[in-house]
Amino acid sequence: MSVGWRQRLQRLDAFNKMDSVYQDRSSSGGFLSILVVLAIVFMIFGELKDYLQYKQEQTFSIDSDMRHPLQINVAMAVAMPCALIRVDILDISGTSQNVHSAISLQTVLSKNAFGQTRDQRRINSVGEMHVHDIMADAARRHGQQGGLPKGIERAKRIDRLEDAACYIEGSVMVGKVAGLLHVTAYGHGHGGAYVPHRMMNFTHHIDELSFGPLYPSLENPLDNTMHPAHEHFAAFSYFISVLPTVYIDPFHNVLQTNQYAVNEYYRSRMDSYDLETKPPGIFFEYDIESIAVTVREKRDSLLGFVVRICAATSGIFATVGICHRLVSGLSRPFSGRRNNMSNQHGTLLETKASELKALN
């Protein structure tokens, strides 16, 4: 490249620069320039952090999906042999659901079912819940009931009834109306051979109780909870309010599930009147809310992020420039007066020096 072209490129500038003659350099201006740069950098990092974060908005609407059936998923261990208990579902219309083909009862060792804590990874049990994480993990593990939990094996031989427990697991379709899922002993509340009172023990550990499609990664209020019975005649009542929920991620993927809130009630030392109204057992009374909630996760657009950066940068420059000119304008008369006084004092000193020199 020739010297002439190199000089032309060096002088080439897309922006006109102000001549140094018209520039007023000051220490205050330099200090403000540093502050402006730091403020802009801080603002850019703040806007970038806000842009990278997901935002959630919740909307409520009337649930119009009442005609479709509801899936109930259950996985729990009860401290009684499977031959002594039965599982039934009864809805508000009096219709009894056939759960025997959908829910399995497996005899396991009691020490394995209740002697350890389940190792289950729930994505929203620790830290903040993100819709995109829920949907990604739910898509990978959709419908994976997984059989018996880790550490629990089906009992091949039971020497004593006290060592046996029953693991109840499965999913059943019911009408989307209020109902009752209950676990009772034979001869108490239903027909069948009468189970002696001394053999009843409704201590139970709930691994999973959810409504809708099974997503094992979603945490529910009763999941992985232990409930001991202190007497043979004991009844556990769970009053559950089910809320239909729809998750929508930033890519418009939809996940339909249900959340629920629960109130627990434990009854013991039941008299004859209590036994007639509700026998010993485990009772899940659920009701479906007519309101549905939609949780939508979204992120600001890239164009909006760039526009905010440009607007904030321009605003900082304009505001600091106006403030600097205002302060400089207000302080100029005082600085001019000080300069005049300094000049007058210097002239007086020069005059005195000249007079003294003439006398000498």
Highest mean pLDDT among 69-78, 137-146, 298-307: 69-78
pTM greater than 0.75: no
Is residue 53 domain-resident? no
Distance, in Å, from the CA atom of 343 to the CA atom of 339, rounded to the nearest integer, reads 6
Separation between Cα atoms, residue 188 and residue 199, nearest integer Å: 13
Q: Is residue 238 part of a domain?
A: yes
Largest alpha-carbon pair distance within the chain? 141
Look at the chain and report how many structural domains it folds into.
1
Domain membership flag for residue 352: no
Residue 294 lies inside a defined structural domain of this protein: yes
Q: What whole-number distance in Å separates Cα of residue 51 and Cα of residue 53?
A: 6
Looking at residue 199, what is its pLDDT?
83
* Mean of per-residue pLDDT scores for the chain: 76
Whether 156 is in a domain gets the answer yes
Q: In this structure, is residue 42 part of a structural domain? A: no
Query: Where does the chain show beta strands of DSSP type E?
Result: 55-62, 70-78, 85-91, 96-97, 103-109, 164-174, 179-185, 204-211, 225-227, 234-248, 254-268, 281-288, 291-298
User: Could you list the residue range(s) of the whole structural domain that residue 166 is in?
Assistant: 58-298
User: In this structure, are residues 77 and 114 in contact, taking their beta carbons and an 8 Å threshold?
Assistant: yes
Is residue 45 situated within a structural domain? Answer: no
- Among residues of the chain, what percentage have pLDDT more than 90? 20
Task: Tally Cβ neighbours within 10 Å of residue 138.
Answer: 20
Give the confidence band of 203 by pLDDT, cuts at 50, 70, 90: very high
Q: In this model, does residue 142 exceed pLDDT 50?
A: yes
At 265-275, the pLDDT tens digits run 998 766 544 55
Residue 308 burial (CB < 10 Å; 0-12/13-18/19+)? Answer: middle
DSSP class of 162: G
Which region among 21-35, 220-234, 246-260, 328-342 has the lowest average model confidence (pLDDT)? 328-342
Asked if the structure places residue 90 within a domain, the reply is yes
The better pLDDT of the pair 212, 151 is held by: 212
Instruction: Measure Cα distances from 288 to 69, 74, 211, 265, 291 in Å.
Output: 12, 17, 10, 20, 9
